[in-house]
Amino acid sequence: MKKSYDVVIIGGGAHGLGTAYYLVKNHGLKAENIAVLEMNYIGAGGSGRNTTIVRSNYRTPEGIRFYERSMELWRGLSADLDFNMMMSNLGHFTLAHTDSSVRVQRERAETNKLLGVDSRLIFRDEIAELCPELNMSMDIPYPIEAALYHPPGSVLRHDAVVWGYGSQFSMRGGHIHQGIKVTGIRKDGSGKCIGVDTNQGPIDAGIVMSAVAGWTTQVTDMAGIRTPITNHPLQAFVTEPVKPLLHKIIVSANLHTYISQTDRGEILIGSEIEPYTTYSMRSTNTFLEHSTANALDVVPLLARLKIQRQWTGYCDMTPDFSPIMGKTEVDNFLIDAGWGTWGFKASAVCGETMAELIGTGRTPDLIEPFRLSRFAEERLVPEKAAASVSH
């Protein structure tokens, strides 16, 4: 570890490593002058705990453009990094079981279409044909009425993203330090950020970027910055692997469940964030009960599959369900946060845009709407209807 770097990135997840990679690749920064500091092991946080869905059928034009760019990057990323992300283009269904949900999904479909995203509202007959595993009975409390169908929706191996970016950055000479905890943000007399303190000593830096998602409030506290972020746990589970059973990515907004089958054959099921805030990563049985009950309402044939493992991650939620990216009131301290339940699918575009910000000093148009100051300016980017549950 050197005593000084041009850029120090806190957080060795997909965002931090992606940013480091694109800084070298797109902006010609010297890899050996960039350090990624990870307090645990790379990908230990949200990057390795999410449910691996990527999609761009968001609600606002700002969100749609941003995630659509991410989709473009995902499609080429395996080749770009020479590391197979195992992207599976299964197609993504957001089921609607109530008339208000149909209204929301139609709004998304229409806005998506207008902005060139392949997304449409489909109804019962077409749903049954495209996804015969679904429970199409009308004689249940929440019959499926319609679905937002997003054919490009895919899953990919989340760890591969971390490793792909990490290995390319590392091969070019970049510094990834694991097991190092940042304990302070150093500032000079004018309040400008000049580096970080760590449990292994201080490091000087021209630019410090925080890409720590669920740990954001701890880092921003060190920097003396306030954000409207609250930290909620989000849980998921997988079943033991079985032969191909479910061929689409299924999300139910009303029943707070999302279901897909991995390349390895496990059925992966997730839910809504827990309503309480905590920094505990303990799993709960309440989650298991409700997520299984809701999943069975939608896909009954999962009944006798065996649950193999449940786990928990953190979600740094923002009031408008959009991220917080870019410059802050502390010069040379940049933030990439507010990743709630939508961080993984954005990791490619985040790396690219944050690298552009660092490399050029200018905030790219794609992330300008996500600036921290928007909360004070009342310029929210309301993605609640599209982001919650629909991971």
Partner 1 sequence: MSIEFEGREVAIQPGDSLAAALYRDGVRVFSRSFKYHRPRGLYCLSGDCPNCLVTVDGEVNIRACQCAAKAGQVVSRQNAWPSVDRDALNVIEKMHPLMPVGFYYKTMAKPKFAWPLAEGVIRRVAGLGFSDKSDAPVEIDRVNRHPDVLVIGAGVAGLSAAIAAAEGGKRVMVIDEQWTPGARVAAGPTKEAIDRLAATAASNPGIEVSSGTAAIGIYEGPMVLALADDHVAHIHPQAIVIAAGGMEVHRIFPNNDLPGIFMGRGAARLAGAHGVKPGERAVVWAEQPEAIEHARTLIAAGVVVEAVITAPGVDASGVGNRQIEGSIVEAKGRKKLSGVVVKTTGGATEEINCDILAIGSEIQQNMHLPRLIYDLPCILTGDSAHPGSSLSEAESNGREAGATAAAGLPLYVNPPASKPRTCGTAGYVCLCEDVSVKEVEQAIDEGFESAELLKRYTTVTMGPCQGRLCADQLRAIAERKTPSEAARVSAPTTLRPPVRPIQVQQAAAGARHHIERHTPLHQRHLEMGATTLWAGPWKRIFSYGDMQAEYEAVRHRVGVIDVGTLGKFLLAGPDVVEFLERIYPMRIADLEPGRLRYGLMLEEGGVIIDDGTVCALEGGAFYCTVTTSGAERLESWMLDWREAWGLDVFVVNQTASLAAVNVAGPHARDLLQKLSDDPLDKETFPYLRHRRITVNGVSCLAIRLGFVGELAYELHFPAAAAVDMWDAILEAGKEWDIRPFGLDAQRLLRLEKGHIIISQDTDFETNPWKVSMEWAVKLDKPDFVGKAALVRAQRRTPRETLVPWQMEPGMATPPEGMTVTIGGNLAGRVTSSKMSYVLGHPVGLAWVVTEHAKEGGTITIGGAPATIAGHAFYDPEGVKLRA
Which of positions 223-252 make contact with partner 1 (CB under 8 A)? 239-245
How many other C-beta atoms lie within 10 A of the C-beta of residue 190?
7
| Residue whose pair of structure tokens reads 């993605």 in the numeric block | 383
CB of 33 to partner 1, least distance (A): 21
CB of 272 to partner 1, least distance (A): 15
Q: What pairs with residue 187 in β-bridges?
A: 193
CB of 282 to partner 1, least distance (A): 6
Among 2, 128, 173, 179, binds partner 1 (CB under 8 A): 179
Among 159, 274, 331, 368, binds partner 1 (CB under 8 A): 159
Q: Which is nearer to partner 1, 315 or 334 (CB)?
A: 315
Q: What 3-state class would DSSP assign to 297? A: helix
If binding is defined by CB under 8 A, does position 293 make contact with partner 1? yes
CB of 359 to partner 1, least distance (A): 25
Pick out residues in 71-100 that bind partner 1 (CB under 8 A).
75-76, 78-79, 81-89, 97-100
If binding is defined by CB under 8 A, does position 122 make contact with partner 1? no
Provide the b/e sequence for 203-236 (b: ≥16 CB within 10 Å): bebebbbbbbbbbbbebbebbebebebebbbbbb
Among 151, 265, 277, 331, binds partner 1 (CB under 8 A): 265
Question: Which pair of tokens denotes residue 163?
Answer: 């490793």
How far is residue 301's CA from residue 285's CA, in Å, rounded to a whole number?
22
2 CB-contact burial (10 Å; exposed 0-12 / middle 13-18 / buried 19+): exposed
Q: What pairs with residue 182 in β-bridges?
A: 198
Angle between helices 158-171 and 61-81 (to 10 degrees): 60
If binding is defined by CB under 8 A, does position 300 make contact with partner 1? yes
Q: Which is nearer to partner 1, 125 or 362 (CB)?
A: 125
If binding is defined by CB under 8 A, does position 310 make contact with partner 1? yes
CB of 41 to partner 1, least distance (A): 5
Q: Which is nearer to partner 1, 1 or 79 (CB)?
A: 79
Site string for partner 1, 185-214 (x = CB under 8 A): ------------------------------
Among 2, 27, 72, 103, binds partner 1 (CB under 8 A): 103
Tell me the window of 154-162, 187-195, 218-226, 357-365 that interacts with partner 1 (CB under 8 A). Answer: 154-162
Q: Which is nearer to partner 1, 279 or 311 (CB)?
A: 311
- Which of left, alpha, beta for 8 (phi over 0: left; psi -120 to 50: alpha)? beta
If binding is defined by CB under 8 A, does position 329 make contact with partner 1? no
DSSP class of 88: B
If binding is defined by CB under 8 A, does position 378 make contact with partner 1? yes
If binding is defined by CB under 8 A, does position 1 make contact with partner 1? no
Tell me the window of 26-34, 195-203, 307-315, 342-350 that interacts with partner 1 (CB under 8 A). Answer: 307-315
Question: Which pair of tokens denotes residue 69?
Answer: 């760019």
CB of 242 to partner 1, least distance (A): 4
If binding is defined by CB under 8 A, does position 275 make contact with partner 1? no
Size of the site for partner 1 (CB under 8 A): 91
How far is residue 196's CA from residue 63's CA, in Å, rounded to a whole number?
32
Among 30, 204, 277, 301, binds partner 1 (CB under 8 A): 301
If binding is defined by CB under 8 A, does position 125 make contact with partner 1? no
Pick out residues in 35-74 that bind partner 1 (CB under 8 A).
40-44, 48, 61
Beta carbons of 83 and 184 less than 8 angstroms apart = no
If binding is defined by CB under 8 A, does position 285 make contact with partner 1? yes
Closest-CA residue to 310 (of 342, 277, 284): 284
How far is residue 81's CA from residue 353's CA, in Å, rounded to a whole number?
17
If binding is defined by CB under 8 A, does position 105 make contact with partner 1? yes
DSSP class of 234: E
DSSP class of 272: P
If binding is defined by CB under 8 A, does position 141 make contact with partner 1? yes
Q: Which is nearer to partner 1, 79 or 360 (CB)?
A: 79
| Residue whose pair of structure tokens reads 């931090």 in the numeric block | 16
CA distances from 322 to 12, 203, 217, 334, 366 (A): 21, 31, 16, 17, 13
Q: What is the rounded radius of gyration, in angstroms, for the C-alpha atoms of the chain?
A: 21
Q: What 3-state class would DSSP assign to 329? A: coil
If binding is defined by CB under 8 A, does position 317 make contact with partner 1? no
